[in-house]
Structures are given as structure tokens and as C-alpha cells.
Chain A
Amino acid sequence: MGIETQLVKKLVQIPIFGALTLGEAADFFDAASEVTVDKGKTLFREGDSSDSLLVILEGEVQVTRKGVELAKLGRHAVLGEMSIVDGAPRSATASALSDVKLLKVPSARVQQQLKANNLSALKVVAHLAGVMSKRLSLINDKLAEALGQDKKREELADFSRTLHRWEF
């Protein structure tokens, strides 16, 4: 198994793999395999068991949750990264918007590496924490905005009720 050195060089430019040296990256992606998915097919569904982390090598993938599109992801985007941390079922559905080529890293293998204090796996998890933290902060902003909108509606509604009490 193993992947081409050219590809490894590209993979270390992806944020969560950014701290890896080329050697460590080769080690981390040791068990990885390339898979292809045809346009319109589903990569995985919300609720499926999480068996792998995926890196998009070619093509475009749509991520949805309860029918709502969360993101469109392209080349070098990472999918299912949470699977290497919590092993919980897939939280969203991913489908191929075009023919897609993916690099599949089995999560079981990463979890083994972590148990063995494997440096490359630990570095990836540490970076993943950074990516997650940024994502959480974005979600917090959106949450604050959404709650704020509720407040505005509430204020207008309060005013409307006040006017109703005065019965003009």
C-alpha cells in the first residue's frame, strides 16, 4: 500500500495535515487507498457508521443534513474528519456532484496509531482540534446572529401587542 510522493507533497498543504513532515505524512497515509465515486452517487449517509476519513482528490461533493445543504466541497477538502476522534455515526450525508476521486484513510488505523502514541497521528489530531475550534467559533457567530433576529421579531411583536392594548 502507500501513495505517491507527489500526492503526499500536496496533502501536507491541507490544513489538518499541515504539521506533518513528508516522512510523517507517508506514515500517516500508509493505509490509505484511492476510491472513485460516480456522479450522483452517495459517499455516505447521515447515520452511517464512520469508518474513514476522506480527502477529495478530484471532483465536487455536496454535504447535506436533513435535506439542507451545508457545504459544497472540492479538491483537497477533508470529509469525515470527526470519525477519527469520536467514531460516532456520520452526522451528514455526502453525495458526488461530479465523478469524484477520493483518498480514504481508515479511522480504525488512525485510532490504533493514536493508542501507540504515533507522532504523525497525534499531530493530525492536534491540528484537527485547531480546525474544529475555528469552525465552532464561526457557528457561535451564526448562532448569535440567529438569536439576535429572534430578538428583533420579538421587539416588533411586543410593540404590536402594546398598540393592541391601546385599541385605536
Chain B
Amino acid sequence: MTSAEAANHYFKKAARIMDVGERIETLLATPLRELKVQVSIELDNGEIRTFAGYRIQHDNARGPMKGGLRYHPEVDADETLGLASLMTWKTAVVNLPYGGAKGGIQVDPSKLSVKELERLTRKFVDQIHDVIGPTRDIPAPDMNTNPQVMAWIMDQYSKYHGHSPAVVTGKPLELYGSRGREAATGRGLLFVAREILRDVGLAVKGTRFAVQGFGNVGSHAARLLHEDGGLVVAVSDVHGGIQNAKGLDVPALFEHVRRTGSVKGFGGGTACRSEDVLVADCDVLVPAALGNVITRQVAADVRARIILEGANAPCTPEADDVFEKKGVLVVPDILANAGGVTVSYFEWVQNLQHVTWEEERVNAELERVMKEAYEKVGQISRSRKLPLRTSAYVLAIGRVGKATVLRGI
């Protein structure tokens, strides 16, 4: 099952439990606009190369659409649509005044020079500038795109429409970016971890966490959980993993990663394979790397009693069923990793108001948003006896649905 099918699978499951009817289900699932464009650039050596670019806008009932922009050889319309709908549900769960969108270019950016990447990005903006905008659709970084790419987008868009910092988020701090944006997804995971652990009578302090993935999400999550008294007993990245039942020295691990570029070879624990981290002896598992890493087989061996989905769709729907039967609590992606888009929203708000927030304010507002979202999802889960994921989708469909009804067809 592709991530698009998986996203649609959970949406349909919730829509049917709610009994919204076939036509409303179609209305909510169908994207508003699917744009595919030609992105042709001249390489540094004078050759011409043409790439396919996508921007898929799923729903705007709750506000301007929001979603990442990824540069990856496997980007296609189907996957992009699935991720766009995921953004609609995610922004609804955390109650941001946004709809959902996603985009990307089918390209292997590691094969392009920085100058070529800049030309590619600017050309893509040339092709989509009339469908994006601060009140239409606001892109953000995703796989292989970063604050520099966002800066190019802002600059190119501003050439057409005048100074427009709010057209993208995830910009560099020096160019209208927000404090706290980089660690936002990891920090959101921390806030959700605190809430769910309290619900089961525990606290972050003394709880054992395994974190798969040590990129933007996993590294900050591990650091913040450690600072909050949690024991990070296993971490991994693409190169390998490291375990320590007594808890890793996370600051020392950060230093190791800064020097070597990987968690592999860190002296404060025993080496293991990346996939071993998923089945490590721990209380909470944080898959924060790629999608679909937890299959049915892996799920059967998972020892954690709580899963926090730091990545998008790390569990396949079959794995999700296994966890439901085993009584493992899964905090779904559309809630658990919504800290990123939430601080993107704060960045957009700051840009529109021409102000800068201190990091304390960003973090405090993020905490409020994540707590409220968790509380709402938990209420639905308890009162309707539904898993957290289904409850989150129910909440999202309810919010998008209400906006749709109020606006009218």
C-alpha cells in the first residue's frame, strides 16, 4: 500500500464509522486542484534537463492550503495527493486555519549543483506562482528541501507579487524564519509524549524511549526527551544504530554526530542495525525516519506499549491493526508530528504581522496547541472507544466537514 492509499484508508475508515455517506466522502477525498508542470533548466555544462513538478491542493475549506515541497526521484501525482490530504487532516487536528496541499519535483537533488538547484527552484516558482501565495497555498520544506530553498521561493515569488515573506515557511532565521521552527516537530513529540504518558500513569522522567531516525525530527525529539528526564535507550540513522539499556548520553551523542555525521560508532552504547531499534526493549517507540518501516511482521515484534509517529505513515495499515489487537497505543502522525506545521503557522502569523516572537513564546504556544489537540483526540477516543488514529481522523473530518457545510457547496 502506498502512503497515498494508506492516508485514504484511514480517512475512509473514519468516514464510515461516522457514516458521512458516499457522496460526502467523495467530496472530502477529491482534491481541489492537481497541477503538473514542466520544469526545464540549463545544467552548468549547458545541457537542458526537464523535470516534472507537482503542486496538489487538496482542500481549502478551513483556510489557505499548507504543505511541504519535496525534491525526490520518486515524487509522483499519486503520492503527492495522498500527502496533500494528510496535510488537510493534520492542520484540522491541531486546529490551524489551514487546508492541505503538497508538492514536489521528480528529481535527484544530489546529482545537481547548488546553482542548478536554485535555477530549478526558481523555474518551478515561475510555473506555480499564480496558484500559491500567502492567502492561497503556502509551501514549506520537506524531503531534500531546506531553508535556502524556501528563501529562493520567497525571492522568486516576490518578483511577481511584491515583497511576500508569508508565501513560504521554514525560511532561514535571517530571512523571516521563526525561532523554534527547526526543533518544532521534535518538541511537538515531547509535548504529546508528556500527555499520553500521564494518561497511562507515567511521566517522561524514567520512561525508556527508542528513536528511529536522527534527522531533523528524531534528533530534536531525543534531545528534548533526554532533557525532560527520559531514558533514550536506542537511536538509529541510515548508517546504523546504537543501544544502551541504561540510557544514552544524548549530548555526547550529538557531539559524536556533529563530528562524524552519523550515530554509528558512538562509544556510549552497543552497536546494532537500524531496524533493531524498532524492536528494542523500551516503553515508547518513536519512528522518525521514513514511511512504511513498521510492517505487520515488525509490529508483531515491537516491545513498546506506545508508538509516537514522528514520521509520516511509519506504520502500514496492517501494522496498525496488529497494534490495535495487541493494545499498543499509537499516536498517529497527523497528531504526533503536527508540531512542525504548527510552528510554520506561527512563522506565517509573524510574517503577516511583521513581528518576531521570542522562542519562549513559540514553544509556549506550541505546547498549548499540541495539548489541546491531544485532549480533543483523547476525548473522542474514550467516549467512542476508538483508537487514537481513528479518533484523530474523526476530529479532522468533523472540523473540515463543518467548515464545508458552513461555507456551502
A residues near B, CB below 8 A?
Answer: 152, 155-156, 158-160, 162-163, 166, 168
Contacts of A163 in B (CB 8 A): 18, 398, 401-402, 405
In angstroms, Cα B399 to Cα A162, docked, is 12
Query: Size range of the interface on B?
Result: 10 to 19
In angstroms, Cα B36 to Cα A157, docked, is 35
Residue of B nearest to A168 (CB): B398
In angstroms, Cα B395 to Cα A163, docked, is 10
Residue of A nearest to B405 (CB): A160
B409 engages A152 (CB within 8 Å): yes
Please name 29 pairs of A and B residues whose Cβ atoms are closer than 8 Å in the assembled complex, sorted by A: A152-B409, A155-B23, A155-B24, A156-B408, A156-B409, A159-B20, A159-B21, A159-B24, A159-B401, A159-B405, A160-B402, A160-B405, A162-B18, A162-B19, A162-B20, A162-B21, A163-B18, A163-B398, A163-B401, A163-B402, A163-B405, A166-B18, A166-B380, A166-B398, A168-B376, A168-B380, A168-B395, A168-B399, A168-B402
Q: Mark B377-405, 1 if CB is under 8 A from A, else 0.
A: 00010000000000000110011011001
Q: Which of B312-361 contact A (CB under 8 A)?
A: none
In angstroms, Cα B376 to Cα A82, docked, is 65
- Extra A-B contacts (13), CB below 8 Å, given A159-B401, A163-B398, A166-B398: A152-B409, A155-B21, A155-B23, A156-B409, A159-B20, A159-B21, A159-B24, A162-B19, A163-B401, A163-B402, A166-B394, A168-B380, A168-B395
Q: Nearest Cβ distance between residue A35 and chain B, in whole angstroms?
A: 50
Q: Nearest Cβ distance between residue B309 and chain A, in whole angstroms?
A: 22
In angstroms, Cα B399 to Cα A158, docked, is 16
Residue of B nearest to A160 (CB): B405
**Closest 9 pairs (CB-CB, A-B):** A168-B398, A160-B405, A159-B24, A163-B401, A163-B398, A166-B398, A163-B402, A156-B405, A162-B20
Contacts of B19 in A (CB 8 A): 162
Residue of B nearest to A152 (CB): B409
Q: Which of B3-58 contact A (CB under 8 A)?
A: 18-21, 23-24
Residue of A nearest to B402 (CB): A163
Residue of B nearest to A155 (CB): B23
In angstroms, Cα B61 to Cα A159, docked, is 15
In angstroms, Cα B27 to Cα A156, docked, is 11
Q: Nearest Cβ distance between residue A148 and chain B, in whole angstroms?
A: 13
In angstroms, Cα B398 to Cα A53, docked, is 60
Contacts of A158 in B (CB 8 A): 21
In angstroms, Cα B19 to Cα A155, docked, is 12
Contacts of B409 in A (CB 8 A): 152, 156
Q: Nearest Cβ distance between residue B387 and chain A, in whole angstroms?
A: 16
In angstroms, Cα B399 to Cα A163, docked, is 9
In angstroms, Cα B19 to Cα A152, docked, is 17
Contacts of B399 in A (CB 8 A): 168
Residue of A nearest to B17 (CB): A166
In angstroms, Cα B395 to Cα A155, docked, is 20
In angstroms, Cα B20 to Cα A156, docked, is 10
Which of A155, A156, A158, A160 has the most chain B CB within a 10 Å cutoff? Answer: A156
In angstroms, Cα B376 to Cα A158, docked, is 24
In angstroms, Cα B401 to Cα A163, docked, is 8
Q: Nearest Cβ distance between residue A76 and chain B, in whole angstroms?
A: 43
In angstroms, Cα B404 to Cα A160, docked, is 10
Q: Nearest Cβ distance between residue B284 and chain A, in whole angstroms?
A: 28
Q: Mark B192-218, 1 if CB is under 8 A from A, else 0.
A: 000000000000000000000000000
Contacts of B21 in A (CB 8 A): 155, 158-159, 162
In angstroms, Cα B405 to Cα A152, docked, is 12
Q: Nearest Cβ distance between residue B377 and chain A, in whole angstroms?
A: 11
Q: Which of B151-208 contact A (CB under 8 A)?
A: none
In angstroms, Cα B21 to Cα A159, docked, is 8
In angstroms, Cα B20 to Cα A158, docked, is 8
Residue of A nearest to B383 (CB): A167
Contacts of B20 in A (CB 8 A): 159, 162
Contacts of A160 in B (CB 8 A): 402, 405
Q: Nearest Cβ distance between residue B192 and chain A, in whole angstroms?
A: 19
In angstroms, Cα B20 to Cα A163, docked, is 8
Q: Which of B43-94 contact A (CB under 8 A)?
A: none
Residue of A nearest to B25 (CB): A159
In angstroms, Cα B407 to Cα A160, docked, is 12
In angstroms, Cα B398 to Cα A166, docked, is 8
In angstroms, Cα B20 to Cα A160, docked, is 9
